[in-house]
Structure 1
Amino acid sequence: MTATVEAARTVSENVVRPVRFHQVGKAFGTGRKAVVALDGVDLEVRAGEFVCLLGASGCGKSTLLNLVAGLDAPTSGRIELSSSRPAVVFQEAALMPWLTAAGNIELPLRMAGVPKAERRAKAAELLDLVRLSGLGDKRPHELSGGMRQRVALARALASTTDNTGSGAGKPSLLLMDEPFSALDAITRDVLQGELLRIWEATGTAILFVTHDVREAVRLGQRVVLLSSRPGRVVREWDVQGLAGADEAGAIDEINAELRKVISSHAAA
């Protein structure tokens, strides 16, 4: 079956889902040599929702993000998008080294044809949001790893909040692929808190890939576990507002399920 990516509509109960997966599959290669990364994935992210995606290495988590971002196409099923242009934050900040922090943030706006004065005002606003005011003239090599990730986040937000063209008036969607995994523990902890603050301030829906169960429970409203390859949705947990013993219990339960998934992968 040929896959499609469709412009979505407001669905039942007047709930907008920036992205919905309908029996989505993805295979690399053809015939006997084909590697099936995803198979029959049904998943949705609601407007403003923070969803964390967990799974064993190679289960298709990053592939799922690439399909939403339009970097690849599904081989079966369909993906409905009702968001503005999704933006991706990777493990590496991937900033343009010849541009300043402000210039990197302005880049998607410049590509969208936003006037210079408006671009600069938006970049200044986003630098303030990620607590880098006064550092807009610094180039990436002059910033710490944590600061570079803040700039990457601001650049992604500039892309998702662009109100020009076909994205105007649509909910925003941010895709994050293990963005803090390369950082030291203290910086990672700080940026997790900053991400929550920014998410609450912007109302942007987030689909966040991680290997860290504690990170998933701390950040997400909902945690989704994928099976080992081919990736399928195994279980979901509502973790919004958990604290203390409830949070610890959820972490233990999800860790136990993740270990089962990893064990089944190793035994295959």
Structure 2
Amino acid sequence: MTATIDTPVTRTTAPVRFHQVGKTFGQGDKAVVALEQVDLAVAAGEFTTLVGASGCGKTTLLNLVAGLDRPTSGRIELDTSRPAVVFQEAALMPWLTAAGNVELPLRMAGVGKAARRAKAAELLELVRLAGLGDKRPHELSGGMRQRVALARALASTTDNTGSGAGKPSLLLMDEPFSALDAITRDVLQGELLRIWRATGTAILFVTHDVREAVRLGQRVVLLSSRPGRVVREWEVDGLSGAAENTAIEEINAALRKVISSHAAA
């Protein structure tokens, strides 16, 4: 089967669609099948969370969308201005200020100095770091650094060439809060929801924490243990109280079943 990543001419309602996507690392007896026959679509403006056991291919899936790797089989359709990734570590350039880090993707896209400075200031204000643009990463807390990384990713999703005008934006997030303390993580979860609502950016968010997945997502997608396949999906938008707790228990039970079946294989 031919593996491709393409940008269709005809607009769809989804920034990204997976069609029977598979990914294998290595060859022969040493081959490892990470993903197999993945069918999934993320709608424009949708917040989708992805859960599964360690090693099930969640990060691999994000890497394929980001163009950091290519599928072995199947097809990925991208209809987005420019996907951006927020990793577990902020990965900021230590010699640049917070504003300089946010400006970086804009500079690489050829945006003029005045325009990129204005955009960086706007995005830093959006992530509640107004007035801290001249600080370097070592002068910021872990939570602040992740806010800068988020602002930089949002800058990267901004189309600055005109070729993607009108296309939905897409943000890929790979356990961005897992290295933070519980209080900071809780605060940033709330901030992410605020920013998502303000920007309308579609988000594909990987997490090991089912409670986080339900709190943040409109839809939770469960991947099987390796090779990763879509096992089940839950609509969780707007849940609270007992309904939210019931969903968390149900998804945790499904996740435990996936892990147990893999261990018994």
TM-score (norm 1): 0.97
Match of 1:56?
53
Amino acid paired to 1:252? E
Distance 1:250 1:133 in 2: 37
The C-alpha deviation readout for 1:180-219, integer Å capped at 9, x for no partner, is: 0000000000000000000000000000000000000000
The C-alpha deviation readout for 1:92-130, integer Å capped at 9, x for no partner, is: 000000000000000000000000000000000000000
The secondary structure found in structure 2 opposite 1:38 is strand
Amino acid paired to 1:23? Q
The secondary structure found in structure 1 opposite 2:163 is helix
- 84, 91, 106: which one pairs with 1:94? 91
Amino acid paired to 1:74? P
2:212 equivalent to 1:215: yes
The C-alpha deviation readout for 1:220-254, integer Å capped at 9, x for no partner, is: 00000000000000000000000111101000000
Distance 1:41 1:110 in 2: 35
Match of 1:47?
44
Distance 2:259 2:232 in 1: 14
The secondary structure found in structure 2 opposite 1:196 is helix
Distance 1:204 1:246 in 2: 26
Match of 1:248?
245
- 107, 110, 119: which one pairs with 1:110? 107
- 170, 175, 189: which one pairs with 1:173? 170
Match of 1:3?
3
2:154 equivalent to 1:153: no
The secondary structure found in structure 2 opposite 1:27 is strand
Distance 1:260 1:187 in 2: 31
Amino acid paired to 1:78? R
Unaligned runs of 5+ in 2: none
Once the 2 structures are TM-superposed, how far is the Cα of residue 134 of structure 1 from its aligned partner? 0.5
- Asked whether the 8 Å contact 1:45–1:205 carries over to 2, the reply is yes
The secondary structure found in structure 2 opposite 1:236 is strand
Once the 2 structures are TM-superposed, how far is the Cα of residue 10 of structure 1 from its aligned partner? 2.8
- Asked whether the 8 Å contact 2:109–2:160 carries over to 1, the reply is no
- 201, 217, 223: which one pairs with 1:226? 223
- Asked whether the 8 Å contact 1:55–1:225 carries over to 2, the reply is yes
The C-alpha deviation readout for 1:43-86, integer Å capped at 9, x for no partner, is: 00000000000000000000000000000000000000001110
Match of 2:258?
261
2:127 equivalent to 1:127: no
- Asked whether the 8 Å contact 1:109–1:162 carries over to 2, the reply is no
Cα RMSD after superposing both structures? 0.8
TM-score (norm 2): 0.98
Once the 2 structures are TM-superposed, how far is the Cα of residue 265 of structure 1 from its aligned partner? 2.1
Amino acid paired to 1:5? I
- 148, 159, 163: which one pairs with 1:162? 159
- Asked whether the 8 Å contact 1:4–1:77 carries over to 2, the reply is yes
Once the 2 structures are TM-superposed, how far is the Cα of residue 157 of structure 1 from its aligned partner? 0.0
Once the 2 structures are TM-superposed, how far is the Cα of residue 159 of structure 1 from its aligned partner? 0.5
- Asked whether the 8 Å contact 2:95–2:136 carries over to 1, the reply is yes
